Homo-oligomer: A and B are copies of this chain.
Amino acid sequence: MVSADDFFFRGLNIPGNTSNPQGSVVTFATVDQFPGLNTLGISLVRIDYAPYGLNAPHTHPLASEVLLAVEGTLYVGFVTSNPGDPNIKYKLFTKTLYPGDVFVFPQGLIHFQLNVGKNNAVAFAGLSSQNPGRITIANAVFGSDPPINIDVLTKAFQVDANVIKYLQGQF
């Protein structure tokens, strides 16, 4: 039996706990927490940022995101995709958002938000999938289980193994 509670989710008024190294936390209302979204192609998140807190560069493999700043000052940006020519630089688009400002992150692109104010910041975002997924770049690249082969990473980042091991050691 379907009831109204199947279409209802509670708790996006509660600030998330930002006591973590990034100083930010995402509270999800996606299909895992909110089964009524199934097949509807939409989900919602709340993002809290401590002062200088960062929602680290990440992608959503299956969704575009439209973010609304509601408190604080956020420096946000995304890096473009390109056809794959190594001689073409990826472009970075950035903007400083104040409450009421909106920015869109197209599907699959690397994006981030940094709280550049002295106070907490809050944003809400809509995503174009009930199941957007998330890949936090630093964690996926340097902190996967098992780790990515060090030869892959030294070559990709063009640094020696000690630098890579140091980076891996952070995760």
Q: Are A57 and B156 in contact (CB under 8 A)?
A: yes
Q: What band does the interface of chain A fall in when counting residues whose beta carbon is under 8 Å from B?
A: 35 or more
Q: Are A137 and B128 in contact (CB under 8 A)?
A: no
Instruction: Determine chain A's interface SS by DSSP, over half rule.
Output: mixed
Q: Can you add 20 more A-B contacts, CB < 8 Å, to A43-B126, A52-B155, A82-B135?
A: A4-B95, A10-B102, A12-B68, A41-B128, A42-B66, A52-B151, A56-B155, A57-B141, A70-B70, A81-B135, A83-B133, A86-B136, A90-B135, A90-B143, A90-B144, A108-B133, A110-B137, A110-B140, A126-B127, A159-B166
Number of copies of chain A assembled together:
6
Residue positions of A touching B, CB distance < 8 A:
2-5, 7-14, 20-23, 26, 28-30, 32, 34, 36-37, 40-44, 52, 54, 56-57, 59-66, 68, 70, 75, 77-79, 81-84, 86, 89-95, 98-110, 112, 114, 124-128, 133-149, 151-153, 155-159, 163, 166-167, 170-171
